[in-house]
C-alpha cells in the first residue's frame, strides 16, 4: 500500500468504527481485524501504519465525529505530512477542500466532564497504557517470572504485579503459556486483593466475564474452598475454562445466570458467601487509554441504564453474604454516579451494612470507597468499595 492508500484505508475503517459506536456494534479492534482479513495484500507495515492512523484519530477526538474523513482531516490540519497524502491519486483520499475544517480535538465529551470524580486528572485518561501482568501464585512466584521476562519491572505496592512496555507480545512468552502470568492491570489486581479471599472460603465473582479477577481470587485462595464465577453471557464464561486450566485453577465453578432472573439461580447461596465481588457493567471511563473509542459509544441515556443496572445487581448480591461477609463493589468507571454515589445509595437502602476503611499502596479514599486513576496511580481508572454485612 502507498502512504496515501494507508490514509484512505484509515478513513474507511473510521467510518465503520463511527457507525459501530453509534449503533452498538463491534469494537474497533474487531473491525480492524476483519478489514485486513479481507485484504490479504496488506503487509505487516501497512497494517501497523493504518492502525496507528486510526487510533491517532480516535484519541484526538472526544465527540463522535461526523465521518472518518473529518477525523483524518483534523489530523491533517495539524500534520503537514498527512495533509500531503490527500492527493487524489489512485487509492488515495481526495484533496482537502478549503471549506473542510475537520473534527475538533478534545479529550472528554463535554456532557460527561462534569460527572467525573473531582480528583480525576483528565489529561491522563488517554495516555498510552503499559502491559501489566499478574504472577499466578498457583504456578510460581514473582522471583520465578522475572528472569523469564527481562523487560518486566515490578509495580511498587502491588505484590504480584509486573509491568511491560506497551504492545509487548505476552501471549507468545513461555511464562504466559505455562500459566505463570496473566495479563491484568495492576488496579484490577488491587480490587481482587481488596476482597481478602482466603483458602477454604466461599467466594462468588458475580459478574465474572472471562474471569480475570476470578483467577486472581483463585490464587489468593490457594486453590482451596468454593469459588463460583457467575455471569449472564455464556460466551464470556466459556473463555474462563481454558484460562483456568492453564492457571491451575480447576476448582473454579461456573454458573450461568438468566438476565433479569439472577436471584432465582442464586437463592441456594443466600447467606453462605464470605466474599462477593460485583465487578459491575459500567461506562468504562477508567479504561479510555485502552479503549478510546468508548467515548464515542457513551450517551447520557446509556449511563442512566448502567446506573440502574448496577443498583439492581447490588440488591440481589447483598443476600448472598454470610454475617460479617464482604461485598466488594467495583467499576472501571470514574463517574461519581457509578462509584461514590452508587455505594452511598446502597448503604441508604440496606440497613446493617457499613463501608470498610480501605488502605492500599496505590489510590486514595473517595467517599466510602477507593479511587484509582491513570494520572495519580499509573493504573486504569477504578472505583471500588468493601461493604460489610453486620452480624
Instruction: Determine phi and psi for 390, rounding to 5 degrees.
Output: -70, 165
Distance of CA 219 to CAs 139, 213, 320, 385, Å?
9, 10, 22, 21
- What's the Rg (C-alpha) of the chain? 22
207 is known as an active-site residue: no
The region that residue 355 occupies, defined by phi over 0 for left and psi between -120 and 50 for alpha, beta otherwise, is: beta
Q: Which residues contact 76 (CB under 8 A, 6 or more apart)?
A: 82, 83, 85, 86, 96, 102
Distance CA 295, CA 52 (A): 18
**Cβ–Cβ < 8 Å for 366, 353:** no
Of these residues, 195, 207, 282, 332, which one is catalytic? 332
Distance CA 304, CA 83 (A): 40
**Cβ–Cβ < 8 Å for 247, 138:** yes
Distance CA 134, CA 121 (A): 26
**Cβ–Cβ < 8 Å for 144, 136:** no
List, by residue number, the catalytic residues.
Answer: 332
Amino acid at each position: 500500500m502507498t502512504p496515501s492508500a494507508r490514509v484512505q484505508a484509515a478513513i474507511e475503517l473510521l467510518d465503520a468504527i463511527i457507525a459501530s459506536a453509534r449503533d452498538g456494534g463491534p469494537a474497533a479492534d474487531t473491525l480492524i481485524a476483519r478489514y485486513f482479513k479481507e485484504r490479504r495484500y496488506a503487509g505487516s507495515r501497512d497494517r501497523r501504519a493504518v492502525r496507528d492512523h486510526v487510533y491517532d484519530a480516535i484519541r484526538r477526538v472526544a465527540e463522535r465525529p461526523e465521518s472518518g474523513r473529518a477525523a483524518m482531516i483534523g489530523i491533517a490540519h495539524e500534520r503537514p505530512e498527512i495533509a500531503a497524502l490527500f492527493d487524489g491519486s489512485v487509492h488515495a483520499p481526495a484533496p482537502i477542500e478549503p471549506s473542510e475544517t475537520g473534527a475538533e480535538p478534545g479529550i472528554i465529551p463535554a456532557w460527561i466532564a462534569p460527572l467525573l470524580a473531582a480528583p480525576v486528572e483528565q489529561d491522563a485518561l488517554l495516555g498510552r497504557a503499559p502491559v501489566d501482568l499478574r504472577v499466578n501464585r498457583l504456578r510460581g512466584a514473582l522471583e520465578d517470572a522475572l528472569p523469564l521476562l527481562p523487560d518486566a519491572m515490578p509495580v511498587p505496592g502491588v505484590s504480584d504485579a509486573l509491568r511491560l512496555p506497551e504492545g509487548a507480545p505476552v501471549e507468545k512468552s513461555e511464562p504466559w503459556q505455562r500459566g505463570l502470568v496473566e495479563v491484568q492491570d495492576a488496579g484490577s489486581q488491587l480490587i481482587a486483593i481488596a476482597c481478602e479471599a482466603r483458602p477454604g472460603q466461599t467466594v462468588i465473582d458475580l459478574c465474572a466475564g472471562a474471569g480475570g479477577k476470578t483467577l486472581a481470587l483463585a490464587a489468593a485462595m490457594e486453590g482451596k474452598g468454593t469459588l463460583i464465577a457467575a455471569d449472564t453471557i455464556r460466551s464470556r464464561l466459556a473463555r474462563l475454562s481454558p484460562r483456568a486450566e492453564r492457571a491451575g485453577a480447576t476448582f473454579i465453578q461456573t454458573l450461568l445466570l438468566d438476565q433479569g432472573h439472577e436471584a432465582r439461580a442464586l437463592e441456594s447461596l443466600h447467606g453462605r458467601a464470605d466474599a462477593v465481588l460485583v465487578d459491575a457493567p459500567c461506562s468504562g471511563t477508567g479504561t479510555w487509554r485502552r479503549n478510546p473509542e468508548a467515548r464515542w459509544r457513551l450517551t447520557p441515556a446509556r449511563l442512566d441504564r448502567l446506573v440502574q443496572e448496577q443498583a439492581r445487581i447490588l440488591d440481589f448480591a447483598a443476600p448472598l453474604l454470610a454475617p460479617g461477609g464482604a461485598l466488594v463493589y467495583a467499576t472501571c468507571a470514574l463517574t461519581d454516579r457509578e462509584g461514590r454515589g452508587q455505594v452511598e445509595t446502597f448503604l441508604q437502602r440496606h440497613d446493617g451494612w457499613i463501608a470498610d476503611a480501605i488502605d492500599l499502596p496505590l489510590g486514595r479514599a473517595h467517599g466510602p470507597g477507593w479511587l484509582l486513576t491513570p494520572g495519580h496511580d499509573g493504573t486504569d481508572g477504578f472505583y471500588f468499595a468493601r461493604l460489610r454485612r453486620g452480624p
